[in-house]
Amino acid sequence: MNILEVNDLNVYYGAIHAIKNISFEIKKGEIVTLIGANGAGKTSTLHAISGLITPRSGEISLNGMNITNKEAHKLLGLGMAHVPEGRRIFTNLTVLENLEMGAFIRNDKDKIKKDLNNIFDMFPRLAERKKQLAGTMSGGEQQMLAIARALMSRPELLLMDEPSMGLAPILVQEIFKTIEKINKENNVTILLVEQNAHMALSIANRAYVLETGKIIMSGDANELANNDDIKKAYLGG
């Protein structure tokens, strides 16, 4: 069953036609990645899905429900969470306070406490720093916190925008292992936008390639990783 369906989506910024009639779908349990050069429309696509910008036309469905133009905060309650580019954590709050903010739509205190314990098991560094101000942590730790905060809403679908941006190579490996773990162990479907196409394709089931606002290619992630045109354009091959 498809958890997300995007049909004939068009996004404009003034006169600029940023997303041009794109359609794609994600099945429950998948990791799907959008790859493409800077300015291809990847982030705009995520923003339209998560209600941060209003598409000019098209339809977006979550679990069969039309969510086009639904406000971003209402989508949390429907099972979608978004880890934005640049982390966007609350820098003047502690790690624990950030995580509690991630659960603000919930009132099941016992389950929130259990989820916090699970988060600290998954991210031991966050457990060590739970009383630390989030803005004083390293970039990698802040990225882990951004992901963990999104998980506190118990999403079925997690949108992730450039999770490896600005991180050292060893931390990039760690972040991608975490994404795989969230998908497999927490049963969370993931839509991943990532400049590091090689890493994204290595963990994804399927991929869509965006170029100047259009989907120009799609298919099995492993097959695309071995496609000569994709290698040349996005994988440095």
**pLDDT tens for residues 64-88?**
999 999 998 899 999 999 998 877 8
Instruction: Note whether 127 and 10 are same-domain residues.
Output: no
Residues 63 and 14 in one domain: yes
Distance of CA 171 to the CA centre of its chain: 17
CB atoms within 10 A of CB 228: 9
Cβ proximity of 65 and 141 under 8 Å: no
Task: Rounding to the nearest 10 degrees, give the CA dihedral for residues 227, 188, 92, 52.
Answer: 70
pLDDT for residue 120: 96
Average pLDDT over residues 110-126: 94
Stated pTM of the model: 0.93
**Mind giving me the DSSP string for 85-104?**
TT----TTSBHHHHHHHHTT
**pLDDT, position 105:** 86
180: domain range? 2-79+155-234
Q: Residues near 119 by Cβ (< 8 Å), separated by ≥ 6?
A: 99, 126, 148, 151, 152
User: Which one-letter DSSP state was computed for residue 136?
Assistant: G
Residues 25-30 have a mean pLDDT of 98
Q: What are phi and psi of 191, to 5 degrees?
A: -110, 115
User: Does residue 237 carry a pLDDT above 60?
Assistant: no
Is 179 a residue whose pLDDT tops 80?
Answer: yes
**Do the bridges between strand 80-83 and strand 157-161 make them parallel or antiparallel, or are there none, so unpaired?**
parallel
Residue 110 and residue 67 share a domain: no
* Total count of domains within the chain: 2
Residue 193 in domain: yes
Compute the distance between CA of residue 169 and CA of residue 194 in angstroms, rounded to an integer. 14
Q: Which two tokens stand for residue 78?
A: 């429907």
Query: Which pLDDT does position 231 carry in this prediction?
Result: 86
Whether 85 maps to a domain, the answer reads no
pLDDT tops 90 at residue 116: yes
pLDDT tops 90 at residue 7 = yes
Q: Which of 120, 153, 186 is the last residue of a domain?
A: 153
Measured distance CA(172)–CA(233) in Å, rounded? 21
Give pLDDT tens digits for 138-177: 988 999 999 999 999 999 999 999 999 888 888 899 999 9
Average pLDDT over residues 10-23: 97
Looking at residues 179-207, what average pLDDT do you find? 95
Q: What region, left, alpha or beta, does residue 87 occupy, with left being phi > 0 and alpha being psi -120 to 50 degrees?
A: left
Range of lowest pLDDT (97-111, 113-127, 197-211, 222-236): 222-236
Same domain as 110, residue 170: no
Band of pLDDT at residue 236, cut at 50, 70 and 90: low
Amino acid code (one letter) for 29: G
The residue assigned the tokens 């923003």 is: 47
Write the CA distances from 44 to 41, 198, 214, integer angstroms: 5, 21, 12
Distance CA 134, CA 219 (A): 39
Q: How far apart are CA 231 and CA 102, in angstroms?
A: 38
% of the chain beyond a pLDDT of 90: 80
* 119 and 14 assigned to the same domain: no
Q: Which residues pair with 234 in a beta bridge?
A: none
